[in-house]
Structure 1
Amino acid sequence: MTTIDLRAPSPSSPGAPTGDPVADEQRSWFGEVFRFRKAWIPSLVGIAVLLVVWQVVGLTIFSKSRTVPPPTHILSTMKEDGWEFYWANIQVTLKVAAKGWFYGNVAAIVTAIAFIQVPFVERILMQVAVASYCLPTVAIGGVLILALPTGDQPKIVLAALSCFFTTLVGMHVGLKSVDRSSLDLVRAYGGGTWTQLMKVRLRSCLPSLFAGLRIAAPAAMLGTIIGEWLGSENGLGVAMVNSQQALLIERTWGIALTITLLSAAAYGVTALVAKLLTPWAPKVGR
């Protein structure tokens, strides 16, 4: 008696292969695009609802105090301030944040590799890394301003410290979470720990590393802004402090919105690079 598998897709179903490689590739691409758009629908709806509630609350509850202006007033003030005002400060902040992000992540990657290759180092320096993460950024910033020469060095160090620990954890977890059989295979062919690192660990750790880098991008922006608050001549943090002191509420909100969008953009760019470089990584939310 013939048994029919009712779970198998019929040739006419959307997910069934057609036998034509070109057609199957096109259908797969359209499926990826559809899933991408579908995943963004809840986020877009949530943002739209937030903006509507924000607008209503700003026009009603906070209409007299003006401490929470509606989005339309903020956008109007940003338009009046002009692109030149924001771009001049954005350039300064992004330059420092990029340098801090680079130096902090390079230090984290090198430290994570040292932890794997020399376990004795991990037992000593991991506690130092945890302590550096627990220290208040404002307190460190005050010390750095006194200890380092004037200029961007204190802000760069703050940005680097802000992203160091998250990248270190991501890289370290990725280097340790490898397929043991692959390590045994390299060892069986005479490879040592450095061969295992180059052939197996570095490739396997990329998804976990990029997970840390995604968090490190906005963290570097936060460290830069705090450094500008503590002492600087220009930048988005300085512009925000000046607008606060001048009671320019809409401008203050506009600068805060700009910082938020820049942090989100940095997160998104890092996620896009991770998707392009690690297509084998498991997809989240599918």
Structure 2
Amino acid sequence: MSLRATDALQMGGAFAEDAEAQARFEGTQRMLAWRRRLLPIAAVVGLLVVWEIAVVVFDIKPFIAPAPSMVAKVLAAKFGMLMSNLLPTAIEALSGFLLGNAAAIAIATAFVYKRTLEEAFFPVAVMINTIPVVAKAPILVLLLGNGMEPKIAIAALICFFPTLVNMTRGLRDVSPQQLELMRILSASPREVFIKLRLKNALPYLFSALKIAASTAVIGAIVGEWIGATAGIGALIIQATYNFDSPLLYATIVVGSAFSATFFGVISWAERRLLKWNVGHAA
């Protein structure tokens, strides 16, 4: 056999081994992906089974802790009512999410370019953030009335601070070498902001947005506790006062499901927009 033929056989064997290794790697990744999806589902199902058995074995009264099967029946029977109450809470949470994060991004940008503003107003933001939500809510109800406005404001305030801190850090966390390169390339201040600072801040921003996706829903619900005739928070209060534990648990499930869906949408957007980020977890 000639030397050229031998080399061709060796190269063909190497390519075959590489293809097999790639196939094994992709198979392993698919298995790990399915494992990440199935393990939480299995854990939740297991906990529900244990809960159902505990209610039967220990004869726990429904007004104390209803069985998951009873909660499921209420979810099915009162699904329309639950959805109609979820709608105002969703509007308040989404509006507060957009308002609070937009304000945080704008103020963080001002902080980065005007250090004096940060030194003056960042302590004020910290002070406002230290006030408990249940203490802010009555004040905002007195100022804004009993409609959706105070609930939106509470959701916005609870989203504001994490995004402000993360966005400020992300915009500022740019190396001097990168800034010097942009100056050498005669980049305008706008180009420096969009192509360098903003792109660098996106991973920090999405970390804050995922937190805000959950806290906005919490803020809207807490606002409804203070005064509302509709919404998840109002329904929780009504069910509690009526000792209707199955409805209470069903309402909590609906609110948690919406919060988890909101978080999932932000995580999906992060994966789609941050493909360029090598350090970003898939």
* TM-score range normalised by the length of the shorter chain: 0.7 to 0.9
Cα deviation, residue 179, structure 1 = 4.0
Q: 1:214/1:239 Cα in 2 relative to 1: closer, same or farther (>3 Å)? A: same
Instruction: Provide the C-alpha distance between the structure 2 equivalents of 1:174 and 1:32, rounded to a whole number of angstroms.
Output: 31
Query: Which residue does the alignment assign to 1:13?
Result: 20
Tell whether 2:146 aligns with 1:146: no
2:167–2:205 contact (8 Å) kept in structure 1: yes
Distance (Å, rounded) in 2 between the aligned partners of 1:226 and 1:178: 38
Report if the CA contact (8 A) 1:217-1:267 is conserved: yes
Are residues 1:161 and 2:157 paired?
A: yes
Higher helix share: 2
1:165 maps to a residue whose letter is: F
Q: Is 2:82 the partner of 1:86?
A: yes
Cross-structure match for 1:48: 45
Match of 2:65 in 1: 68
Deviations 1:217-250 (A, max 9, x none): 1101000001100001211111111111111110
Pick aligned residue for 2:113 from 110, 117, 141: 117
Structure number with bigger Rg = 2
Whole-angstrom distance in 1 between the partners of 2:16 and 2:259: 43
1:260 is aligned to 256
Equivalent in 34, 54, 71 of residue 37 of structure 1: 34
**1:145-165: per-residue Cα shift (whole Å, max 9, x none)?**
111234211111001001111
Point out the more displaced range, 120-129 or 192-201.
192-201
Tell me the secondary structure at the aligned position of residue 15 of structure 1. Answer: helix
- How many residues align? The count is 267
**Inter-CA distance 194–169: structure 2 relative to 1 (3 Å threshold):** same
Residue in structure 1 matching 2:170, options 151, 155, 174: 174
1:271 and 1:208 mapped to 2: Cα distance? 13
Q: Quote the offset at 1:50 in angstroms.
A: 2.0
Contact 2:155 2:219 (8 Å CA) reproduced: yes
Unaligned runs of 5+ in 2: 1-14
Do the aligned partners of 1:162 and 1:219 also contact (CA within 8 Å) in 2?
A: yes
- TM-score normalised by structure 1 residue count: 0.85
Range with greater deviation from structure 2 (209-218 or 55-64): 55-64
Rounded to whole Å, the distance in 2 between the matches of 1:194 and 1:50 is 53
- TM (normalized to structure 2)? 0.87
CA–CA distance in 2 between the matches of 1:210 and 1:14? 34
Q: Partners of 2:145 and 2:49 in 1: how far apart? A: 47
- 1:31, 1:280 → 2: CA distance? 23
State whether structure 2 residue 174 is matched by structure 1 residue 216: no
> How far off its partner does 1:63 sit?
1.6
Superposition RMSD on alpha carbons, in Å? Answer: 2.4
Q: Deviations for 1:253-275, whole angstroms, at most 9, x for unmatched residues?
A: 00011111111111011000111
SS of aligned partner of 1:14: helix
